[in-house]
Amino acid sequence: MNTANDLNSGLTANLQLQVAEVCQSVDVSDGIGPLVNAVQALLPDLSVSHAMTRGGWHRLGGVVDLDGQRIAHHITDWAEAESGGDIDELMFKLSELRYFATRLNGQTHYLVAQTGPLASDFIQIEIEQLQEVLDRCITDPDWFPDSIADFVDPIDFPRLEPEPVGAPRLAFRRLVKVADLIESKDAGPRLRRFLDDWDRSSAVESEGFCHHWVLALREYQDRDGDRHLSAKPVPVLASQVPDLPDAEVARGAGLANQIHGFDREVGYPFAWYFHMLTNRKVSHQLAEAVHADLMGAYAYLPARDLRVLRDWYQDPYGI
């Protein structure tokens, strides 16, 4: 089963094309607002919002000459075509040329539109903002790559100042109906349980899961060549989330104040539980301590949250 393709075919192909066209027409220098408005116009029956932007990543770019003229858009395809698979031949061809490899510095804008009451009831749209910059000289007298792969993406090579090669641009990456993803074989049991815990807890009383979390999606191929998606929840306020108690966990009123204070800062009830499940820096001792309190003389969680916590205590998990 080609699951990732099936998910996309379940969506309106025309909508994906329209979002891609929007990316080409919106001026990135105007900020995120016009992009959201343009996508909103494509989904008049839903409310589209900008959930978060994740940056700090890059991918291989192309090749330019000393004057900045384009030699190739994709360095891998170009190197394979020029070399015929022979790295010696490629290096000989380039010995008298002054070419530069580029990279694409990127950030991903996550737009979401809630489609129903459940945590999985939302559409997630990923739009990349790309800036092509100079990365490195393509050759060096003291360097000879072992293979085409080493030439294309060397591990240790002097880097240039990231001077822009072209204007920043937007590019459509992915549109996923999350409810379909959760029903597919790509969604693991922990992700399903995470979303089910949300629906069963007091967190469901907030404005909606997709306004607090997005799914970091990764596409991969299995042994049969079929494409799949893996997904991990990422908090929208990832860089602003307050610390949760870890090794030194308070008890009683002190612990109640800590977790309720965390919930207030993050903006919805039972937030501490979901952040504990996804943050490896936070020990599960936190949930164990809360559970021990509630089995004793304390009662500082709603009954629905206590049921979720009891289930976790009997069968702990993280994601």
Name the H helices within 43-165: 75-83, 87-94, 148-152
| Count of C-beta atoms within a 10 Å radius of residue 305 | 20
Q: Are 251 and 289 in contact (CB under 8 A)?
A: yes
Q: In terms of C-beta distances under 8 Å and separation of at least 24 residues, what long-range contacts does 237-242 make, across chains too?
A: 237/212, 237/266, 237/267, 238/52, 241/266, 241/275, 241/279, 242/266
Cα dist. 118→228, 235, 269 in Å? 23, 17, 16
Rounded mean pLDDT, 270-280: 94
What are 179-234's pLDDT values in tens digits? Answer: 999 998 888 999 999 999 999 999 999 989 999 999 999 888 788 778 878 899 99
Query: How high is the pLDDT of residue 4?
Result: 44
Query: How high is the pLDDT of residue 115?
Result: 95
Confidence of residue 11 (pLDDT cuts 50, 70, 90): low
Those residues with Cβ within 8 angstroms of residue 165's Cβ, 6 or more apart along the chain or in another chain: 61, 64, 68, 102, 132, 133, 134
Rounded mean pLDDT, 26-34: 91
Confidence of residue 248 (pLDDT cuts 50, 70, 90): low
* Cα–Cα distance, 279 to 219 (Å, whole number): 22
Position 20 pLDDT exceeds 90: yes
What are 77-112's pLDDT values in tens digits? Answer: 999 999 998 999 999 999 889 999 999 999 999 999
| Sign of the Cα pseudo-torsion (174, 240, 245, 292, in order) | negative
Q: In terms of C-beta distances under 8 Å and separation of at least 24 residues, what long-range contacts does 93-97 make, across chains too?
A: 94/138, 94/139, 95/139, 97/65, 97/138, 97/139
How many helices, marked H, and strands, marked E, lie in the chain? 12, 7
Rounded mean pLDDT, 236-261: 80
Rounded mean pLDDT, 120-146: 94
Query: How high is the pLDDT of residue 8?
Result: 46
Rounded mean pLDDT, 131-138: 95
- What percent of the chain is predicted at pLDDT more than 90? 70
Query: How high is the pLDDT of residue 3?
Result: 46
* Cα–Cα distance, 112 to 114 (Å, whole number): 7
Using the structure block, give the residue that is written with the tokens 């909606």: 208
Query: How high is the pLDDT of residue 240?
Result: 77
